[in-house]
C-alpha cells in the first residue's frame, strides 16, 4: 500500500464512530480499576468493621493483585482458544460474584479469598476486553477505540476512589458485613 493509499484509507475511516460497546468495555475497566484501588483509602474502616488491623485487610489488595497477575499469565492464553466474548462473559460473572462475596465477607480471611477470586477474574477480563476492543473497532479506528476503553483506568482513579472516600465519616461508616448493619 502506498502512502497515498494509506492517507486515503485513514481519511475514509476517520469518520467512523467508536462503537457503543467500547463504552461498556470502558465501564468494565473502570470497575476492575476501582476495585484494585479502593481498598487503600477505606482500609482503616474495613479493618475496624472486622476488628482487625489495616495490614491484615491490605492482604486482600495484595491477593487481588496476585490473582490478576497469575491469571493473566497462565489463563489469558485461553482467550484465543475459547473466544474473547465467551471468556469476558465468564470473567465478568466471576468478578461480580467475587465482588458480592467481598461485600458480605464475614471475616477478613473470606475477604482475602474473595479478592483473590476477583483478581483471577480481572486477569482474564482485561486481555479479553482489550481483544474485544480491537475486534469491534471500525477499520482504521483501532487505536481510538482502544484509547476510549483505556479511559476506564482514569475513571477508576478519579471517580472510583473519590466516590468511596466521602462515605468515610469515622471508623463505623463502612460495614462490609450487612449482618451488622450499615453505618
- For 140-180, what is each residue's pLDDT tens digit? 999 999 999 999 999 998 887 777 665 544 444 444 444 43
Does the residue 176 lie in any domain? no
Q: How many domains is the chain partitioned into structurally?
A: 1
Does the residue 156 lie in any domain? no
Does the residue 152 lie in any domain? no
**CA 9 – CA 12 distance, rounded (Å):** 5
Mean pLDDT of the chain: 86
**CA 72 – CA 124 distance, rounded (Å):** 6
DSSP string, 122-178: HHHHHHHHHHHHHHHSPTT-HHHHHHHHHHHHHHIIIIIHHHHSTT-SSTTS--S-G
Does the residue 67 lie in any domain? yes
Task: Look up the pTM and report it.
Answer: 0.80
Q: Which domain holds residue 98?
A: 51-140
Does the residue 90 lie in any domain? yes
Amino acid at each position: 500500500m502506498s502512502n497515498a493509499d494509506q492517507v486515503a484509507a485513514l481519511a475514509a475511516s476517520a469518520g467512523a464512530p467508536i462503537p457503543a460497546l467500547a463504552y461498556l468495555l470502558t465501564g468494565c475497566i473502570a470497575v476492575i480499576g476501582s476495585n484494585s484501588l479502593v481498598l487503600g483509602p477505606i482500609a482503616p474502616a474495613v479493618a475496624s468493621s472486622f476488628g482487625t488491623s489495616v495490614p491484615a485487610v491490605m492482604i486482600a489488595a495484595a491477593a487481588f493483585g496476585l490473582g490478576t497477575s497469575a491469571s493473566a499469565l497462565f489463563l489469558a492464553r485461553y482467550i484465543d482458544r475459547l473466544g474473547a466474548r465467551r471468556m469476558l462473559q465468564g470473567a465478568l460473572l466471576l468478578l461480580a460474584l467475587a465482588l458480592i462475596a467481598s461485600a458480605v465477607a464475614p471475616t477478613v480471611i473470606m475477604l482475602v479469598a474473595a479478592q483473590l477470586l476477583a483478581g483471577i477474574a480481572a486477569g482474564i477480563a482485561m486481555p479479553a476486553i482489550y481483544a474485544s476492543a480491537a475486534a469491534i473497532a471500525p477499520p482504521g479506528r483501532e487505536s481510538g477505540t482502544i484509547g476510549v476503553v483505556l479511559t476506564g483506568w482514569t475513571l477508576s482513579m478519579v471517580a472510583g476512589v473519590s466516590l468511596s472516600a466521602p462515605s468515610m465519616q469515622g471508623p463505623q461508616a463502612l460495614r462490609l458485613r450487612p449482618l451488622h448493619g450499615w453505618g
